[in-house]
Every structure is written in C-alpha cells, then in structure tokens.
Homo-oligomer: A and B are copies of this chain.
C-alpha cells in the first residue's frame, strides 16, 4: 500500500490538473489550487476541468481549493504548476502557507518552463529569490517531453527531475514514477532548465517547417542543428556537458 502522501499542486491549468490526476491515481492525496471559483466548483461538483482537460475525469483523490480559504494542512510536497510569468507572484502569495508547513515540506517542485520575464532568471533562481529560507534547499524542477493530454490518456512517457539536492531527488523519484511515466534524476539544474526553455524555439521552427510542407529531412535538420545550438547555449550558461551519466529510473 502506498504511503498516503499529501501533495499540494498550485495551478489547475492543463499540466497542473493532469499532473494531479496522474498522482491521485497512484493513491496520493492531491490538494489542487485554482485561482478561479468556477474551476473550483466544476472540479468539486462535476469532477471535470473542461477548460483545460476536457472530458478528463478528475480523480476523487484530487481535492480542489481556491482563494485564501480551506488551505489544506501538512503537505509534504508543493508543486508549482503556474505559467512562468506568474511564478514569482504566486510563490509570494503562498508565502505564509509555505511558512506554516515548512517543517513538513520535503520538496518544492516547479513544472513551468521558461525564463522569468524582466529578470531573465531561470525559474529555480526565481524560486530561490522568493521561497522561505528553509525551503531553498528543497527546490526541484521537472522537465520532459510531456504533452498533458497524452499523459492523461496513460500513454508511456518519461521526464527528468533536477535538483542540487540528491536527497530531494531520491525522495521524489519513486513518488512521481509509475509504469507509464518513468522519471530520471539529474543534478544539472541549469542544463535541464535551459533545455526545457530553449527547445520550444526549435519546436516552433519545426512546426513552421511542417506548415510549409517541408519533409522529414528539413525537420530533422532543424532539430539536429537546434539541439547543437541549445547545447552550446546551455554550456555557456553553466550546464554540464560532460555529465553523460544520469542516474537511472526506479520502479514507481
């Protein structure tokens, strides 16, 4: 039997909702925060979040909450699943909640990709700037080729979690892993964050190539050269090219 871990997911967009359902199916209790009353009510009453996840049934282990009320107690994991441009204000908004639960929290995980507008910080750096002091060593980021709708359908996928803190990685890996979702761990936070942010530029270019009617060669060329440029940029920004070895997956 699974440990009844208590996880608070902040942000009920398509990835936050899907991520919550994925973990709820594993038996964890998920507190899912939405900023909108209408989403709160729909999840509570109809077990759907039609605006973001269409017909996906929101597992009963997902307990929605909103506003400042009914904040769920004793989460061990805090997951930020909000867009990069509101990550800072959302962390600040939850600062008291984080402080109240600080002794319990073993990990603060970010699902967003990108760089912070204005500061150009990687998002783990934004987190470091505004999380309560004792949580700064608990930061972890997740990045992978993860289209939410496919995860929801249970199609196989992988993802990587990165943290400077090996204990956090070791704690999180089995919690997030499942038969259909394999989690790798990595301590190259810079590489994972830069890769996750910059690959979207290449993805857009690849989409344009398809739209223009170009073939597989053209798309593969864009991806091959894009990966090369992305790697150069990452290394310039401190990513670890030489770290070929990544700790392997574990059974979830």
Binding site for B on A (CB under 8 A): 144-147, 150-151, 153, 155-158, 182, 184, 214-218, 220-221, 224-225, 228, 231-232, 235, 241-242, 244-246
Contacts and interface: CB of A to CB of B under 8 A. Distances in A.
A225 B248 CA distance: 11
Nearest to A151: B217
Contact of A145 (B151, B157, B224): B224
A167 to B, nearest CB: 24
B220 A145 contact: yes
A216 B144 CA distance: 12
Nearest to A217: B157
A158 to B, nearest CB: 4
Given A145-B224, A158-B224, A158-B225, A232 B244 contact: yes
A228 B218 CA distance: 22
Contacts of A150: 215-218
A223 B223 CA distance: 12
Given A145-B224, A224-B145, A156 B217 contact: yes
A189 to B, nearest CB: 17
Nearest to A148: B217
A157 B153 CA distance: 35
Contacts of A244: 228, 231-232, 235, 241
A98 B155 CA distance: 54
Contacts of A241: 241-242, 244
Given A241-B241, A242-B242, A246-B228, A157 B218 contact: yes
A17 to B, nearest CB: 17
